[in-house]
Amino acid sequence: MPQVTFTAHLRRLAPPSPVEAVGDTVADALASVFANHPLLETYILDDQRRLRRHIALFVDGERARLADPVSPGARIAVLQALSGG
Amino acid sequence: MTPPLLVGTRKGLFVLEADAADHWTIRHHAFAGIPVTITALDPRDHTLYAGLNHGHFGVKLHRSDDLGRTWTELPAPAFPAAFPADEPDRPAPAVSLLWSLEVGAEPDELWAGTIPGALFKSTDRGTTWRLVESLWNEASRRLWFGGGYDAPGIHSILPDPRDPRHLLIGVSCGGVWLSPDAGDHWEIGGAGLVAAYMPEERREDLAVQDPHRIARCAAAPDRVWMQHHSGAFRSDDGGRNWTRLSGLPVSDFGFAVAAHPTDPDIAWFIPAESDETRIPTSGRLGVTRTRDGGRSFERFDQGLPPPPAFDLVYRHGLAVAPDGQRLAMGSTTGGLWTSYDGGERWHLANAHLPPIASLQFAA
């Protein structure tokens, strides 16, 4: 099963990383995590379920999009842009 | 006794309390590091609400039942999924800022105004929200545009205390809107407003006006005050018709305005130099007050920083306590001041807060 790691900035809301997910795409895998953590979804996706502008997704170390496929052993990372002052 | 102050800043929400000697101390600091854009206190059940803007992680809403000590996160107002875009080549809307929060007519009822310019309603203490589609579907909304932000936004929501189903809202830049029935129907107000930033033939269009902030006298709700992008205005009929005020001593540009809760002839403005610079005129932070309905004005700066000061007071950065004598003012430079004599003399409460977006007395 894909494994998802969330940025430490979301540790208050996210389950301990990595968390096991279910799905054939990044979006589906994340949705399987959000099912148990509904508020977490609003931190990653906007009103229209689009990836928030300053969130970055990686699959096995490569930048990825929500629609990208994931293999059963994929490692998905959810990061955010670094903040200024 | 002075009520506590709720201060929304770039780096979290501060609850400050004053002792008998008027020393203000920070009682709680919630959401450290996260911008707090607006607060609301429901006087009926003493629930405190805070709107946050995480930036990366979006807009959030939290509720406290113990005046800021502990918080519960709630779903923030949001457009329904798969909501249609205004234009085929534009993205579907998503809330980017919670800019106003106001208690409604019924118990547990709340209003939220956002950027983009949408109004949301909750009937369960903010647990769920519904877009007020009647306003979103107003045809003239296509004329609205952003003022200081990419999209228009609702910053003032003013229920009429005589019948809180009667609403007055202010949109930057989309004018003044009135609803007689808790948001089911709308009519546009704002006759008499003049937008100097528009081409000459469009300056009196109602739907392009930029009210920076609107304030209403609670005891005489037909008396409403406005700091507009292009001047200070007064309405005597609840926001339908407006008269531009003249004779302000420094400048009639600014963002904040406050209305006396019981005396309809008293209001306060905080002038800034111009829309091009948005700093105090001549570097001198001051407060302008009228006590005769806007026929004459006084200016006060005793206790405020000497020039050159660069403190700007945002739309929600000026508050009046229910006694009409105690005021508080917070700036983009993180200065917080209070007055106990109707704004004539000011006292520094804290010089080193983060930039202040909103403040209110917890009363």
| Residue pLDDT, tens place only, B93-102 | 999 999 999 9
What DSSP string runs through B240-266? Answer: SB-EE----SS-SEEEEEEE-SS-TT-
Global pTM value: 0.94
pLDDT exceeds cutoff 90 at A12: no
One-letter identity of residue A14: A
The average confidence (pLDDT) of chain A is 93
Query: What does the pLDDT read at residue B291?
Result: 98
Is the dihedral angle over the CA atoms B173, B83, A41, A68 positive or is it negative? Answer: negative
Structural element, H or E, at residue B136: helix B133-136
Instruction: Evaluate whether B356 touches B9 at the Cβ level (below 8 Å).
Output: yes
Band (pLDDT 50/70/90 cuts) for residue A9 is: confident
Query: Cα–Cα distance between B198 and B188 in angstroms, integer?
Result: 19
A80 and B58 within 8 Å at the Cβ level: the answer is no
Query: What does the pLDDT read at residue A83?
Result: 63
All residues of chain A having their beta carbon less than 8 Å from the beta carbon of residue B73 are 39
Query: Cα–Cα distance between B345 and B299 in angstroms, integer?
Result: 11
Q: Is the N-terminal amide bond of B211 cis, ω within 30° of 0? A: no
Query: What does the pLDDT read at residue B228?
Result: 97
Query: Cα–Cα distance between B206 and B212 in angstroms, integer?
Result: 14
Q: Residue for token digits 């002038």?
A: B271
3-state DSSP of B194-228? CCCCCCHHHCCCHHHCCEEEEEECCCCCCCEEEEE
Query: Cα–Cα distance between B329 and B144 in angstroms, integer?
Result: 29
Nearest-CA distance A6 → chain B (Å): 13
Helix ranges restricted to H, chain A: 26-34, 38-44
CA angle B156, B161, B164 (to 5 degrees): 75
All residues of chain B having their beta carbon less than 8 Å from the beta carbon of residue A44 are 57
Query: What does the pLDDT read at residue B148?
Result: 81
Buried b / exposed e over B284-305, threshold 16 CB at 10 Å, is bbbbbbbeebbeebebbbeebb
Chain A nearest-CA residue for B81: A48
pLDDT exceeds cutoff 80 at A81: no
All residues of chain B having their beta carbon less than 8 Å from the beta carbon of residue A46 are 58, 94
Instruction: Evaluate whether B117 touches B211 at the Cβ level (below 8 Å).
Output: no
Instruction: Evaluate whether B256 touches B314 at the Cβ level (below 8 Å).
Output: yes
- Tell me whether A11 touches chain B (CB under 8 Å): no
Mean pLDDT of A44-50: 95
Chain B nearest-CA residue for A44: B57
Coil/strand/helix, residue A39: helix
Please state the ipTM of this predicted complex.
0.85
A43 and B58 within 8 Å at the Cβ level: the answer is yes
Query: What does the pLDDT read at residue A11?
Result: 84
Sheet with A3-6, strands from edge to edge, namely A19-20, A3-6, A75-80, A55-59, A62-64
- Residue B43 burial (CB < 10 Å; 0-12/13-18/19+)? exposed
Percent of chain A with pLDDT over 70: 96
Residue of B54, B56, B62 best to disrupt the A interface, most CBs of A under 10 A: B56
Structural element, H or E, at residue A79: strand A75-80
A47 and B60 within 8 Å at the Cβ level: the answer is no
- Tell me whether A84 touches chain B (CB under 8 Å): no
Of the candidates B56, B91, B94, the beta carbon closest to that of A80 is on B56
| Residue pLDDT, tens place only, B149-180 | 889 999 999 999 999 999 999 999 999 999 99
Question: What are the average pLDDT values for consecutive 10-residue runs of chain B, which has 363 residues?
Answer: 95 96 94 97 96 94 96 97 91 96 94 98 97 97 90 97 97 97 97 94 95 98 97 98 96 96 98 88 95 98 96 97 97 97 98 98 94
pLDDT exceeds cutoff 80 at A82: no
Nearest-CA distance A66 → chain B (Å): 16
Terminal CA-CA length for chain B: 11
Nearest-CA distance B146 → chain A (Å): 20
Structure token digits, residue B8 = 């929304």
Query: What does the pLDDT read at residue B22?
Result: 86
